[in-house]
Amino acid sequence: MSRDVAGPVWRAHDSLLRRNVAIKEIRPQFHEHGADLHETRHRALREARSAGRLNHPAVISVHDLLEVDGRLWIVMELLEALTLKDTVRHLGHLPVHWTAWIGFQLLGGLRHAHGTGVLHRDINPGNILLTGNRVVLSDFGIAALHGGSSQSTTMPLSYAPAFIAPERLRGGRATPAGDLWSFGACLYFAVEGRPPHPAAGPPAAVRVTPPVKAGPLRPVLEGLLRHDPAARMSGGQAARMLSEILRTEGVAVAPPLLPAARLPPDSFTT
């Protein structure tokens, strides 16, 4: 058993399909009552199931979502990996080309999710997993199960202010631009070895400290960490810039893929 911000994670064995899995019990922190609680729970389960349909190597696979006697369980792919948080703590900071490679792989999964109308809402170094050959974003759908729908102002599970978009800290709803800010904050943390701004202070006072170790990554970080979400760099722009950095560093990567051309109805609002 391990433990993360969402609660205990159990290593288990699926006897039917004969594979090891990870199982996490989710304990929703809903504050609504009566009929509102029922609707919120229904919306959260629907959104988490949508996240479970994501299929990308940079997104952890969700095998099943169970509700037994009022308790919620999510069955996921089991990975033996270090988190980005632990890796940076051990090494101090990561080289530019490592950070660019991690970011490029991760952004592929995030753009895939956004292209299918699914938000993450809680991207932070603790749920970015590094294996031998994969970069994997975990906990898609977990925020929804805890009541953090796209229309909610509920804070993410980790409540790590340095990795939450300023508009979310001010009570705004979750959006793809908010996910991209958190993604940029994680890249900043990787290459600089520290969060992009001090955690203390009111949301209006959020000011990103200029990076000093980022080199060619600096324009990417500055574009993703713009205070105004309308002026923030898009995922497509970031992917192209990261691929160019990697090409310059002599690291071959596939061209960035386009997300879905048309989103499902009510994307980001379920």
pLDDT in tens, 222-262: 999 999 999 999 999 999 999 999 999 888 787 776 554 45
Task: Report the phi/psi class of residue 268: left, alpha or beta, with left for phi > 0 and alpha for psi in -120 to 50.
Answer: left
- Whether 176 and 52 share a structural domain: no
59, 99: one domain: no
Q: Same domain, yes or no, for 166 and 91?
A: yes
| Of residues 235, 222, 194, the one with CA closest to residue 88 | 194
CA dihedral 182, 187, 193, 199 (to 10 degrees): -10
164 and 90 both lie in a single domain? yes
Q: Are residues 19 and 108 in the same domain?
A: no
Q: Which of 19, 47, 77 is the last residue of a domain?
A: 77
Query: Which residue ranges in the chain fall short of pLDDT 50?
Result: 1-6, 30-36, 147, 260-261, 264-265, 269-270
Domain that holds residue 15: 2-77
On whether both 66 and 115 belong to a single domain, the answer is no
User: Which residues are annotated as catalytic?
Assistant: 122
| Positive or negative torsion for Cα 182, 183, 184, 188 | positive
**Same domain, residue pair 64 and 129:** no
User: Taking a C-beta distance cutoff of 8 angstroms, is the pair 112, 203 a contact?
Assistant: no
Which ranges in 80-134 belong to alpha helices (H)?
84-91, 96-115
Q: Are residues 87 and 59 in the same domain?
A: no
Contact predicate 134/102, CB 8 Å? no
Separation between Cα atoms, residue 260 and residue 102, nearest integer Å: 22
Instruction: Tell me the CATH number at 49.
Output: 3.30.200.20
Structural domains counted in the chain: 2
Locate 12 and state its tokens: 């288990």
Q: State whether 184 and 243 are in the same domain.
A: yes
